[in-house]
Chain A
Amino acid sequence: MKFIPIFLIVSIILNFNLLKADEIKTENKIAKNLRCLICQGQSVYDSDSEFAISLKLVIKNKIQQGLSEEQIYSFLKMKYGEWILYDPVFNRNTYFLWLLPILIFLAGGAIIIKRFYNKK
């Protein structure tokens, strides 16, 4: 009978750790997807500049406040502009960037199919 409370305590501690680990995981994921604006060429996750250290703290606080990943990205986009995100958004300036690989892929496919039929 004594085991029940011990078991409960242990399971609560284990679950708590899991929750915390999840938080740290998303925190790191977000930081890796952000460009450090001071030390360009590095992500916020990699950087140890004052800016990046504060930004990591802000991300941590926002996660604890219950904001989702998307909400944090849009918050930072509002404050610092699209440049802070590594993943470029699909808009008028980036149509070419997003569509070019698909076009090249389709053109390649067309060439292969044409060759195949010509051989036949």
Chain B
Amino acid sequence: MKSKFIPLILIFIFLITFVIFFKGLRNSNIYTPNTNLKKEVPLFELKSFENNSIIISEKIFEDNKYYLMNIWASWCIPCREEHKFLMKLKKDKRIELIGLNYKDNFKKASSFLKDLGNPYNIIVSDKDGTASIEWGAYGVPESFLVHQNKIIKRFIGPINNKDLLEIEKIIR
């Protein structure tokens, strides 16, 4: 009785371990957050990029429009890649672009916009990165599509042609 029981238990334990490791090791260990969230826009009070006046988030997103809130910095190389797509998006009158300048130097950021063009309607600056944390952002570049004070879609990493088409589909 005893000798039959022990191998069975051993096989059982081995099987459980095998299944756990098999499933666990095949899982991707790179975390990808949920991008289809319906979250309220976080409230913030930030300094304007051009002059030091205070801009309140409620003022920015008050209209019944679509907004793309884009986190960018002049030191961020992928931001240069996505810039041409933002410039394309600027031509669309149904959407307003809000820039959040992340941990940047004013001079360098200004020359970045001078060289590549300024797609933003409003730019606010986030000197210490704390406002981006309130948005639940990971870093630069990252964009949030906002409608009626809700984040309806987020784009982690640079915006590409596919994202652009997706945005146009949503705001149509």
Contacts and interface: CB of A to CB of B under 8 A. Distances in A.
Contacts of B29: 40
B130 interface: yes
Interface in B56-77: none
Given A38-B138, A80-B136, A54 B130 contact: yes
Given A40-B30, A40-B31, A79 B128 contact: no
Given A37-B31, A51-B139, A79 B134 contact: yes
A57 B132 CA distance: 12
B133 interface: yes
B33 A81 contact: yes
Interface of B: 29-31, 33-34, 102-103, 128-130, 132-136, 138-139
29 contacts: A37-B31, A38-B139, A40-B29, A40-B30, A40-B31, A50-B102, A50-B103, A50-B139, A51-B129, A51-B138, A51-B139, A53-B129, A54-B103, A54-B129, A54-B130, A54-B132, A55-B133, A57-B128, A57-B130, A58-B133, A58-B134, A61-B130, A79-B133, A79-B134, A79-B135, A80-B136, A81-B34, A83-B31, A83-B33
A54 B128 contact: yes
Given A50-B103, A51-B139, A58 B30 contact: no
A80 B129 contact: no
Contacts of B129: 50-51, 53-54, 57
Contacts of A38: 138-139
Nearest to B102: A50
A11 B29 CA distance: 51
A55 to B, nearest CB: 6
A40 B106 CA distance: 31
Contacts of A61: 130
A69 to B, nearest CB: 17
Contacts of B130: 54, 57-58, 61
A53 B135 CA distance: 16
B133, B135, B136, B138: residue with the most chain A Cβ atoms closer than 10 Å: B133
A79 B31 contact: no
Nearest to B129: A54
Nearest to B37: A81
Contacts of A40: 29-31
A50 B102 CA distance: 10
A53 B129 CA distance: 8
Nearest to B134: A79
Interface in A50-80: 50-51, 53-55, 57-58, 61, 79-80
B30, B31, B102: residue with the most chain A Cβ atoms closer than 10 Å: B31
